[in-house]
Amino acid sequence: MTADPNSQSLTPTAAWSEDLRPVLEWLARRAEPVAIAFLAVVVGLGVFSVFIAALGKSPLQLFQLMYQGGFGSWFSIQNTLSRAAPLLLTALCVALPARLGLTVIGAEGAVVLGGLAGAAIALPLTSTLSPLPVWVLMGLASMAIGGLWIGLSGFLRHYRGVNETIASLLLAYIAIALMNQLIEGPLRDPASLNKPSTAPLPAEFMLGNMPGMDVHWGFVIGIVACVISYVIIEWTTAGFAARIAGGNMRAAQIQGLPVGRLIVGFTTLAGAFAGLAGMIEVAAVQGSANGSLAAGYGYTGILVAFLARHNPLAIIPVAILLGGIDASGGLIQRRMALPDATVLVLQGTLFIAVLFSETLYGRFKIFNPDLWAAPHSAKGAS
């Protein structure tokens, strides 16, 4: 992502000593995404404040409640972390293909089918197996179907030239229809009356909470997935090849990189993570596969991935932040008599501000060590 700071020719400047300069260059390059993302969030919150104030409510009170509901107590922090778990995984579903230059927005479909596959495979086995192998099988099934779903978009993109954004979106709608058909029909638990769902998992097969906490294991699984993704992208040959292909697909092809396999592989892995998010929702939160699986985690994941600039490690804090906003929604609704869509408006505003901020990269001289030595040269490159 960032250039190797040591490769720059060291132009002597009066202000800094030579030994300090590489450190400062490294800091400057690392600080740019953090500072710009922070600025974008502040501007987004500012615009949202104007909107809230225009409706005659106090933005200050809203932000206070948001902090209180998301991070203000140990209870709310635990709630936040539980809600961040699926976002970690759906954000990876967007971020991994994005490193190859693909915009995949259909994570919702993989979540829904992953949850459904998890429930479908677990229910007949609960009488014969112990929980651990059931969880493993659930995870594998959900990852397989999620991987297949998103991998198909990647496959169609490379081998058929079908736009992956549209294909993944269509597949998401097809997945939701498929789930509705199955939980209304063959997989329906007759006891579920108004809200069709599969039979519930027995209590001992629920993915419990971590010791001493009220946060389910899905959070840890999400963190591990982010770390694995980071290692794959930054430290492996495949990740390196993917980054080259993401920078310039044609150049990668000329270099002889297996672009097709990279695209299918990365989209499949991405879908597998989103599928796993569905399995966690079923095994740790819902207890059965039902319509609540299509709760919009796939779409919030897009926001998380873009906010994190598709960096798997940056996804962790961003997912927690958005999990906190999500967790505070109920409190805002009750205390300020605002509709539940308030959080949606805030997310949309933040999303637009963050995407808008992309235009700021490279514009500030302070973040661009190449320009330090020539203080009177023109503005930033590109």
Partner 1 sequence: MDGTDIGLWGVPLAILAGAIRVSTPFIFVSLGEMITERSGRINLGLEGTLVFGAMAAYGTAVMTGSPWLGVLAAMGAGAGFGLIHGFICKFPKVNDIAIGIAMMQFGLGLAFFLGKPFIQPAAPKLPSIPFGGWSSYPQIQAALNINVLFLIGILLAFALSWALRNTRIGLILRVAGDSSDAARAMGLNPDTIRLLATAVGGALAAVGGAYLSLFYPGSWNEGISSGQGLMAVALVIFARWNPLGCLLASLLFGGAGALGPALQSVGVTSGYYLFYAAPYVLTLIIMIATSSPTRSLTGAPAALSLTK
Residues of this chain that interact with partner 1 (CB under 8 A) are 103, 105, 156, 158-163, 165-167, 169-171, 173-174, 177-178, 180-181, 184-185, 299, 302-303, 306, 338-349, 351-352, 355-356, 358-359, 361, 382
Burial grade of 9 (CB within 10 A; 0-12, 13-18, 19 or more) = exposed
The packing angle between helices 297-307 and 107-122, to 10°, is 130
Strand partners, 290: 197
Asked if residue 13 lies in contact with residue 373, where contact means CB atoms within 8 angstroms, the answer is yes
For residue 6, the one-letter residue type is N
Cβ of residue 119: shortest distance to partner 1, in angstroms? 17
To the nearest whole angstrom, how small is the minimum distance from the Cβ of residue 51 to partner 1?
9
Between 208 and 296, CB nearer to partner 1 = 296
Q: How far is the CB of 329 from partner 1 (least distance, A)?
A: 12
Q: Quick one: CA dihedral 251, 258, 234, 358, positive or negative?
A: positive
Of 250 and 376, which CB lies nearer to partner 1 in the complex structure?
Answer: 250
Which DSSP category does 282 fall into? Answer: I
CB crowding 244-268: b at 16 or more within 10 Å, else e: bbbeebeebeeeebebeebbbbbbb
- Of 69 and 298, nearer to partner 1 (C-beta) is 298
Q: Which amino acid type is present at position 10?
A: L
**How many helices (H) and strands (E) would you count in the chain?**
13, 0
The nearer residue to partner 1, 224 or 261, going by C-beta atoms, is: 261
- Judged by beta carbon, residue 156 or residue 321, the one nearer partner 1 is 156
Cβ nearer to partner 1, comparing 34 with 55: 55
Tokens standing for 89? 């995984």
The residue type found at 317 is P
Q: How far apart are CA 332 and CA 146, in angstroms?
A: 34
Please state the closest distance from residue 69 (CB atom) to partner 1, in A: 18
Q: How far is the CB of 287 from partner 1 (least distance, A)?
A: 22
Q: How far is the CB of 348 from partner 1 (least distance, A)?
A: 3
Q: Cβ of residue 300: shortest distance to partner 1, in angstroms?
A: 9
Phi, psi of 290, deg, nearest 5: -150, -175
Residue type, position 175, single letter? A
CB of 339 to partner 1, least distance (A): 5
Considering beta carbons, is residue 55 or 220 the nearer one to partner 1?
A: 55
Q: How far apart, in whole angstroms, are the C-alpha atoms of residue 106 and residue 255? A: 30
Nearest residue (CB) to partner 1, 172 versus 199: 172
Say how far residue 163 (Cα) sits from the centre of its chain: 21
